[in-house]
């Protein structure tokens, strides 16, 4: 509509002010543009341009020519070019008569600006209808002063980002980042570029690929991940043999690797796999620079002084004068010279030295049990429905936090503990070491303390034995059983009892209705007539069945129950027998 009024005003001025006798190229060109005779208009416009290429009126009319709606040669870019040229030429024209003449034709600055607004709006509309990267690039390049310039840039960037995502390669996003560094999509494009580049360059999954990535792309957000994978895969390949020498070589060649510590741990694990005193002793002498030397000393200390007796500690002090924690040794020796017993004060429990009456640990615990292997079970808080137990040392320091519903004394460096509601039979049992680590998982239905390096456990109604590494040493296949003693454990299959050795081999076949554990090389057993006697390690009767009841031997004697006639009546009488079966007083 604005174009119509603009043309109308020009045509009116033209008809009134300009006579055919004085009409020039501009006048004639405008007349033919208004009349729709575009071929004639082009002829006059070309003449005018040839006559004076700096004539702003001719350029303006060229712009009018290319901008007229029904012109088959309509071209918004050409209209824009000539209008820009006209406006620049107008600024340099200083002849008032020329300006006045052209003003009569409607060629004024205001009209030029109005047309510029219309042309740029039309160009934007065309670019928007096409909506391609190329179309927007053309508009942005040609129309930098358009009021829609920023919007055009945003749409160009959006289309370019869509194209990059359609390709979805790190190259396509790299190109986007380089061409459009100020785009709003830059963070997302950078993220996708780095991700795809990382995937592409490390797709082989080798440590070499990850190492190469860290060298070439130290600025990448995936640098740390690539470096960690490179270090880990390199470590795994260099130690793939799993031998002691592999790990020793790795620590020697790559001391700065983050996995050098793991390699040192592996050396310690291999060299002390049996957790023996000799292994710990050899380790501290062979590997003085290994980070586990301190740990080896402590493990040696615990292995040698399981019971924390005075004799053990003094012998250790004599044999290992270089033990680094002498304060601990002296402290344990001091407590070993005491006779520590539980003391109750006002319903709370503590510990005193029976020899001197000295208070060792104040009476502050709602529940407490005797010390075993240098640690004691205590409840640290008042028990309501149930207690939670932990372990303290003779100084009263909490060594293992109170988190167990049941806790037993330490035996052979291990303590039996439970989690859950044991009162309702809904708890699980396992074993912890002196550091509180669950060496045997707390997952069994029942368990018995360690004896001769093995502990009996129950799961699913069956019994077996685990070792101190938490591994099943004897399959959980038996219907009942007792702990090991004298190298044998009594087990029941069905209704009959027999004995297995420490390797789980059945050495005395199931044949007895009831038995006891071996002590002093003898075990009480019952025959088919219900009489008790004693068998040897071979399974043969060494003391014939003749007793109504029989206990285990202890220091060469055992208590038995026999029937004797007194005052005319048969009575059960306790007697003591020696290892030959003879009665002794």
Residues in the chain: 585
Instruction: Tell me how far the alpha carbon of residue 57 is from its chain's centroid.
Output: 76
How many helical (H) and strand (E) elements, i.e. helices and strands, does the chain have? Answer: 19, 26
Could you read off the pLDDT tens digit of each residue along the chain, which spans 585 residues? Answer: 334 334 434 443 344 334 343 358 888 999 999 999 999 999 999 999 999 999 999 999 999 999 998 899 999 999 999 999 999 988 876 678 778 888 877 888 999 999 999 999 999 999 999 999 999 999 999 999 999 999 999 999 999 999 999 999 999 999 999 999 999 999 999 999 999 999 999 999 999 999 999 999 999 999 999 999 999 999 999 999 999 999 999 999 999 999 999 999 999 999 999 889 999 999 999 999 999 999 999 999 999 998 899 999 999 999 999 999 999 999 999 999 999 999 999 999 999 999 999 999 999 999 999 999 999 999 988 876 678 999 999 999 999 999 999 999 999 899 999 999 888 889 999 999 998 999 999 999 999 999 999 999 999 999 999 998 889 999 999 999 999 999 999 999 999 999 999 999 999 999 999 999 999 999 999 999 999 999 999 999 999 999 999 999 998 999 999 988 777 787 888 999 999 999 997
Dist CA 407 CA 583 (whole Å): 41
- Give the class (CATH, top level) of 2-130: mainly alpha
Phi, psi of 453 (to 5 degrees): 85, 0
Entry pTM: 0.66
Q: Residues 42, 8: contact at Cβ < 8 Å?
A: no
Assign residue 442 a region (left: φ > 0; alpha: ψ between -120 and 50; beta: otherwise): beta
Backbone angles phi, psi at 282, to 5 degrees: -65, -35
By the 10 Å C-beta count (0-12 exposed, 13-18 middle, 19+ buried), 296 is classed as buried
* H-run or E-run covering 439: strand 438-444
């Amino acid at each position: 509509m604005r174009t119509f009024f603009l043309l109308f005003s020009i045509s009116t001025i033209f008809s009134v002010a300009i006579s055919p006798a004085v009409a020039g190229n501009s006048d004639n060109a405008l007349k033919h543009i208004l009349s729709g005779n575009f071929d004639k208009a082009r002829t006059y416009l070309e003449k005018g341009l040839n006559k004076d290429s700096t004539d702003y009126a001719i350029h303006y009319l060229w712009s009018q020519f290319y901008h007229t709606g029904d012109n088959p040669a309509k071209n918004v870019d050409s209209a824009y070019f000539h209008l820009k040229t006209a406006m620049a030429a107008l600024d340099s024209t200083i002849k008032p008569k020329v300006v006045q003449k052209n003003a009569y034709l409607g060629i004024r600055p205001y009209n030029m600006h109005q047309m510029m607004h219309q042309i740029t709006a039309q160009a934007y509309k065309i670019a928007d209808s096409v909506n391609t990267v190329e179309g927007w690039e053309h508009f942005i390049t040609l129309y930098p002063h358009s009021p829609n310039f920023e919007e055009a840039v945003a749409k160009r960037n959006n289309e370019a980002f869509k194209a990059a995502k359609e390709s979805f390669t790190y190259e396509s996003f790299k190109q986007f980042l380089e061409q459009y560094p100020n785009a709003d999509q830059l963070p997302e494009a950078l993220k996708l570029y780095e991700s795809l580049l990382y995937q592409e360059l490390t797709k082989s999954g080798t440590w070499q690929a990850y190492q190469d990535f860290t060298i070439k792309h130290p600025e990448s957000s995936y640098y740390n991940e690539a470096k960690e994978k490179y270090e880990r895969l390199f470590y795994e390949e260099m130690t793939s043999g799993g031998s002691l020498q592999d790990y020793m070589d790795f620590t020697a060649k790559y001391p700065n690797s983050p996995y050098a510590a793991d390699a040192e741990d592996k050396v310690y694990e291999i060299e002390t796999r049996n957790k023996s005193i000799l292994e710990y002793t050899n380790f501290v002498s062979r590997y003085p620079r290994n980070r586990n030397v301190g740990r080896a000393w402590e493990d040696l200390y615990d292995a040698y002084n399981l019971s924390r007796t005075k004799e053990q500690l003094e012998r250790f002090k004599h044999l290992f004068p270089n033990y680094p924690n002498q304060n601990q040794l002296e402290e344990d020796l001091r407590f070993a010279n005491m006779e520590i017993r539980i003391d109750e004060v006002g319903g709370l429990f503590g510990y005193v030295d029976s020899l001197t009456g000295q208070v060792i640990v104040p009476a502050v615990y709602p529940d407490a049990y005797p010390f075993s292997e240098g640690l004691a079970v205590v409840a640290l808080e008042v028990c309501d429905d149930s207690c939670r137990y932990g372990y303290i040392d003779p100084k009263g320091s909490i060594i293992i936090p109170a988190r167990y519903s049941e806790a037993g004394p330490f035996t052979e460096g291990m303590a039996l503990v439970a989690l859950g509601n044991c009162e309702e039979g809904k708890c699980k049992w396992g074993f912890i070491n002196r550091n509180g680590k669950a060496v045997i998982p707390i997952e069994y239905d029942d368990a018995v303390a360690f004896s001769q390096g093995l502990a009996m456990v129950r799961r699913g109604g069956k019994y077996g034995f685990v070792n101190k590494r938490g591994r099943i040493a004897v399959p959980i296949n038996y219907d009942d059983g007792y702990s090991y003693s004298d190298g044998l454990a009594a087990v029941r299959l069905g209704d009959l009892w027999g004995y297995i050795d420490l390797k789980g081999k059945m050495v005395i076949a199931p044949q007895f209705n009831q038995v006891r554990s071996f002590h002093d090389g003898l075990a009480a057993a019952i025959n088919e007539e219900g009489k008790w006697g004693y068998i040897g390690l071979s399974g043969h009767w060494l003391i014939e069945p003749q007793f109504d009841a029989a206990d285990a031997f202890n220091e060469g004697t055992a208590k038995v129950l026999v029937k004797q006639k007194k005052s005319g009546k048969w009575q059960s009488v306790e007697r003591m027998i020696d290892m030959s079966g003879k009665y002794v007083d």
